Amino acid sequence: MISIRAIASGDIGAILSLERARIGDSLGLVELEQAVKGAGYLCWVATADERLVGYILCSLTSGEAELYSIAVAPDHEGRGIGRALMDEAFKELKAHGAQKILLEVEVGNERAYRLYLRQGFKEYRRRKGYYGGVDAICMEREI
């Protein structure tokens, strides 16, 4: 059974490990600590049998949210965890006053791109060479 909850301070190490395994070292300790404190960042985690198997980290400023990072453990992919994390985040962000949410995804990350399209995101521009020479697709959706 998968459960989704807000981040707790004890989750930071597991999130950083998952981030390194899935994406690399792009996520910072500072952002996670701020999410625990509720200071500009909001984070939710997915757990299965008390093991952290996914997370989503967002920022919120003046009614506009940004999906900063999302990852699911490889052995739990394809089970709807990414969608469930996004649904929870969007519900909470809306409750905090967000009217829309933005994100960027690397060209070629088809799995994430398809998830974002299914979640109602639309492409609004591209950033040339944003990810070390690889373009970024900028997407948005109303909440």
So what's the pLDDT on residue 121?
98
Mean pLDDT over the full length of the chain: 89
Q: CB within 8 A of 14, min separation 6: which ones? A: 45, 51, 52
Closest CA to 77 of 115, 41, 131, 44: 115
pTM strictly above 0.85:
yes
The whole-angstrom separation of Cα 12 and Cα 9 is 6
pLDDT in tens, 60-77: 988 899 998 899 999 999
What are the residue ranges spanned by the domains of the chain?
2-103
Q: Which residues are catalytic?
A: 104, 116
Closest CA to 119 of 69, 74, 82, 65: 82
So what's the pLDDT on residue 52?
96
Q: In 3-state terms, the chain is what percent helix, strand and coil (to 5)?
A: 35, 40, 25
So what's the pLDDT on residue 3?
96
Residue 28 binned pLDDT confidence (cut-offs 50, 70, 90): low
For residues 86-102, give the mean pLDDT.
Answer: 95
Burial of 104 (0-12, 13-18, 19+ CB in 10 A): middle
For the 2-103 domain, the top CATH level (class) is alpha beta
